[in-house]
A and B are shown apart, each in its own frame.
Chain A
Amino acid sequence: MNQTEPIPNSSEREAQALRDLENSWQTPRGMIGWLSCTTHQAIGMRYIVTAFIFLLAGGIEALLIRLQLALPNNTLLGPDRYNEIFTTHGTTMMFLFAVPMMEGMAVYLVPLMLGTRNVAFPRLNAFGYWIYLAGAIFLYWGVFTNTAPDAGWFSYPPLSGPAYSPGKRVDFWAQMITFTEVSAMCVASELIATIFKMRAPGMSLNRIPLYCWSMLVQSFMVIFAMPAVMIASSYLLSDRTVGTHFVNPAEGGDPLLYQHVFWLFGHPEVYIIFIPALGFVSSIVTANSRREIFGYPGMVLSIVATGFIAFGLWVHHMFATGLPQIGEAYFTAASMMIAVTSGVQIFCWIATLWTGRLRMTAALHFVFGFIAIFVLGGLTGVILASVSLDVQVHDTFFVVAHFHYVLIGGALFPLFGAFYHWFPKITGRLMNEAVGKLNFWILFIGFNLTFFPMHILGLKGMTRRIYTYGSEMGWELGNILATIGAFIIAAGGVVFLINIFLSRNRGEIAGDNPWDADSFEWAAASPPKSYNFEYLPVATSRYPLWVAASERTFVTGLRNDRREVLVTTLMDAEPHHRLVLPRSSLWPLLTALAVTIGFIGSVFNAWYITYGSILTGLAFVGWFWPRLPVETKP
């Protein structure tokens, strides 16, 4: 393995190498091939497309909510249906759209950015996707059979307990959680291994692209936060199905325990969605201000610090439960301190933009929108962090406004920016920039029109989760504005879809690096080949593609006739050994099916846990069956 040899240019050897690479990385054709695929681009795309469909589903539910609330004493949705719809909206958006979307973008982008060929555990990656899909289908099976969850997206007991939520609605919710969390844990563990051990040689810790740093921190947060919600939902599920007494007060259980465990996950969850978005912003800002990011070390530190502090905030969701004041005050303090770390990042981006040579792309528009909205959302957040104010507006539309400012401003706007930024990499064609900017302005105006009035509605006392209100309350103006805004947002979504479909077929050909960006994904072809790079690149700088082409170096000596990648050391990314990754395999799908049988069955009959475990064990035997490491033929 020699990492400084120039690319050999004997064209015959070259052609043979390409054929070998092509062979060893290609996914077999046909249905079976599709189901057994383990390449990160394909699986990342599946996550992205599936999660996008659920964004649309959640969006339709949001429109129904807004239609119902548009006028006082409206009867479009009855109270029961309304409960189902807002719960399904919140659940879909958080668990089926936001987290999987961020995971999918990372599955697609991280290996490219690190200069490698796949994630560290390709079959686990496939398994994670199937499990997510199963959980999503499961929830929507409930939605279409009058079994949509209806106890709010955090399903507090006792409301969600057996006494007040008979039937299977809450069980569907609780088990869907298990599915999506397993899936998120799969992605998190493979991303950590990939970022730690499969970086391009030379990409020492202080050269990792900020997006990969943010995914690293996010993945650790997933690993620490997701087990908490699985425990919470399992408490709930076993209280409901086999009569345990964890969180059911009627049986001496402790509902506050549920709240603690849920929010121990729930607050970090917000950052699990938001930190990847910060990574998008850093990439877009760097590429479009055409200069190195200002304060890289400060950025990294504040991402890491955010990752920690996010675990010290959960009780601010429980200020209204009457905990000891000293205890609550710790959380006020931490909630205020986290504003410092966000402030550092905002400052660094602004400094970069200020001193750079700006190119006002559509993606950058979304970044500016993000900064504006996020600052406002952060301000209302600091307001809510103070116990006295929070108790005043708790469970009102002020809170609904706040978290949509954070979630949509903080995650959806950067995400759309990311779509515009990386679409040319994924499809090989540019999206239409003019339509993109129009898209931005429609979304930005619609967003503020929808959610700004909700602050005022909240202060005027409109509580969340009510299906209607009387005309004497004086809430009409705010509500009708919010509904009009929601339809403007929907129009923005339609513009985006049109742009996607038109650009996909007719967009301008992008080339490898349309934005002259700095990181490795732009060195791959657009769309990337299944093996990403013919020769794995070496990172000679923090901005490897801004190094003069003559000074760039490549890894040679990897075998092309099997799926080989280079493993490097954790701190300094020195070449360590070669690793052969598995090829396509059906076992991830079969294992996911076995797990699904166990999970879904156990909602109806606890014995299915046993059946599911046995089936899963059998599937694991197939999965881990020893195979020869050298796979010369596809």
Chain B
Amino acid sequence: MKRDFILWIALLGGPIVWLISFETNFALAPWACIFQTKLALHVISIVALVLAAVSGLLAWQEWKGLSGEKEDRPGGSLPRSRSMALGGVLMSAMFFLVILAQSIPAIVLSACE
């Protein structure tokens, strides 16, 4: 049960972190001009990148743990857990990239363009 929970986090952590960070950044973009600082945007991007990386590492760890395990009975949950863990690694990587791509605008554009 606990493992299943971790696997879901690993799988959906990346996209959820991305969604939240991106919506917050979008909402804060006009304020960057008003306060003449892009600090908040950068901070959110960095936090999101860290969280996406954490969910990726979590998935990676699960995956390594699972590849050592033996199937206890035919039709058990091992193959499914392995695919979820591997999926978690890939999903987190993908959304790490999306967050990264979205952190570029705040770097290259000025606050009031």
Known: A202-B75, A571-B80, A572-B80. A327 touches B30 (CB 8 A): yes
A359 and B86 alpha carbons, distance in the complex (Å): 33
Instruction: Say yes or no for B22: interface residue by CB 8 A criterion.
Output: yes
Question: Given A206, A301, A336, which contacts B80 in the complex, CB threshold below 8 Å?
Answer: A206
Instruction: Say yes or no for B15: interface residue by CB 8 A criterion.
Output: yes
When C-beta atoms are compared, the residue in chain B nearest to A329 turns out to be B105
A123 and B33 alpha carbons, distance in the complex (Å): 53
Binds B, one of A108-116, A182-190, A305-313, A452-460: A305-313
A337 near B97 with CB under 8 A, answer: yes
Interface residues of B in 1-54 (CB under 8 A from A): 4, 15, 18-19, 22, 25-26, 29-30, 32-33, 38, 41
A204 near B87 with CB under 8 A, answer: no
Residues of B within 8 A of A340 (CB): 94, 97
Distance in Å: Cβ of A302 to nearest Cβ of chain B: 8
Residues of B within 8 A of A332 (CB): 105
Instruction: Say yes or no for B66: interface residue by CB 8 A criterion.
Output: no
Residues of A within 8 A of B102 (CB): 329-330, 333-334
A329 and B104 alpha carbons, distance in the complex (Å): 9
Residues of A within 8 A of B25 (CB): 330
Instruction: Say yes or no for B91: interface residue by CB 8 A criterion.
Output: yes
Known: A301-B91, A324-B113. A333 touches B79 (CB 8 A): no
A324 near B30 with CB under 8 A, answer: yes
A572 and B1 alpha carbons, distance in the complex (Å): 12
Distance in Å: Cβ of A187 to nearest Cβ of chain B: 23
A333 near B32 with CB under 8 A, answer: no
Instruction: Say yes or no for B111: interface residue by CB 8 A criterion.
Output: yes
A326 near B29 with CB under 8 A, answer: yes
A326 near B111 with CB under 8 A, answer: yes
Instruction: Say yes or no for A298: interface residue by CB 8 A criterion.
Output: yes
Residues of A within 8 A of B38 (CB): 326
When C-beta atoms are compared, the residue in chain B nearest to A202 turns out to be B75
When C-beta atoms are compared, the residue in chain B nearest to A333 turns out to be B101
Known: A324-B113, A330-B102, A330-B105. A312 touches B80 (CB 8 A): no
Interface string of B72-113 (1 = CB under 8 A from A): 000111011001101100110011011001101110010111
Known: A297-B86, A301-B87, A308-B18. A333 touches B80 (CB 8 A): no
Distance in Å: Cβ of A557 to nearest Cβ of chain B: 18
Distance in Å: Cβ of B91 to nearest Cβ of chain A: 6
A297 and B25 alpha carbons, distance in the complex (Å): 31
Known: A202-B75, A308-B15, A572-B80. A326 touches B101 (CB 8 A): no
Interface string of A117-142 (1 = CB under 8 A from B): 00000000000000000000000000
Known: A330-B105, A333-B98, A333-B104. A305 touches B80 (CB 8 A): no
B75 near A326 with CB under 8 A, answer: no
Residues of B within 8 A of A595 (CB): none
A340 and B90 alpha carbons, distance in the complex (Å): 13
Residues of B within 8 A of A305 (CB): 15, 91, 94-95
Instruction: Say yes or no for A325: interface residue by CB 8 A criterion.
Output: yes
Distance in Å: Cβ of B30 to nearest Cβ of chain A: 5
Interface residues of A in 148-206 (CB under 8 A from B): 202, 204-206
Residues of A within 8 A of B22 (CB): 312, 330, 334
B98 near A334 with CB under 8 A, answer: yes
Question: Given B29, B83, B101, which contacts A336 in the complex, CB threshold below 8 Å?
Answer: B101
When C-beta atoms are compared, the residue in chain B nearest to A330 turns out to be B102
Distance in Å: Cβ of A257 to nearest Cβ of chain B: 13
B29 near A324 with CB under 8 A, answer: yes
A300 near B30 with CB under 8 A, answer: no
When C-beta atoms are compared, the residue in chain A nearest to B90 turns out to be A301
A572 near B94 with CB under 8 A, answer: no
A329 and B105 alpha carbons, distance in the complex (Å): 6
A571 near B26 with CB under 8 A, answer: no
A204 near B77 with CB under 8 A, answer: yes
When C-beta atoms are compared, the residue in chain A nearest to B87 turns out to be A301
Interface string of A327-359 (1 = CB under 8 A from B): 101101110110011000000000000000000
A298 near B90 with CB under 8 A, answer: yes
Distance in Å: Cβ of B52 to nearest Cβ of chain A: 12
A602 and B77 alpha carbons, distance in the complex (Å): 52
Instruction: Say yes or no for A270: interface residue by CB 8 A criterion.
Output: no
Known: A333-B101, A340-B94, A571-B4. A324 touches B33 (CB 8 A): yes
A202 and B91 alpha carbons, distance in the complex (Å): 25
Distance in Å: Cβ of B16 to nearest Cβ of chain A: 8
Residues of B within 8 A of A308 (CB): 15, 18-19, 95
A301 near B94 with CB under 8 A, answer: yes
A588 and B83 alpha carbons, distance in the complex (Å): 40
Instruction: Say yes or no for A304: interface residue by CB 8 A criterion.
Output: yes
Residues of B within 8 A of A329 (CB): 102, 104-105, 109
Distance in Å: Cβ of B18 to nearest Cβ of chain A: 7
B86 near A326 with CB under 8 A, answer: no
Question: Given A300, A301, A325, A571, which contacts B113 in the complex, CB threshold below 8 Å?
Answer: A325
A309 and B16 alpha carbons, distance in the complex (Å): 10
B29 near A327 with CB under 8 A, answer: yes
Residues of B within 8 A of A325 (CB): 105, 109, 113
B26 near A330 with CB under 8 A, answer: yes
Q: List 25 A-B contacts (CB under 8 A).
A: A204-B80, A205-B83, A206-B84, A300-B87, A304-B15, A305-B15, A305-B95, A308-B95, A312-B18, A312-B19, A312-B98, A315-B26, A323-B29, A324-B112, A326-B32, A326-B105, A326-B106, A326-B109, A326-B113, A329-B105, A330-B25, A333-B98, A333-B104, A333-B105, A340-B94
Given contacts A205-B80, A305-B15, A333-B98, 12 further A-B contacts (CB under 8 A): A204-B79, A206-B83, A297-B86, A301-B91, A304-B15, A326-B41, A329-B109, A330-B26, A334-B101, A337-B101, A341-B94, A572-B77
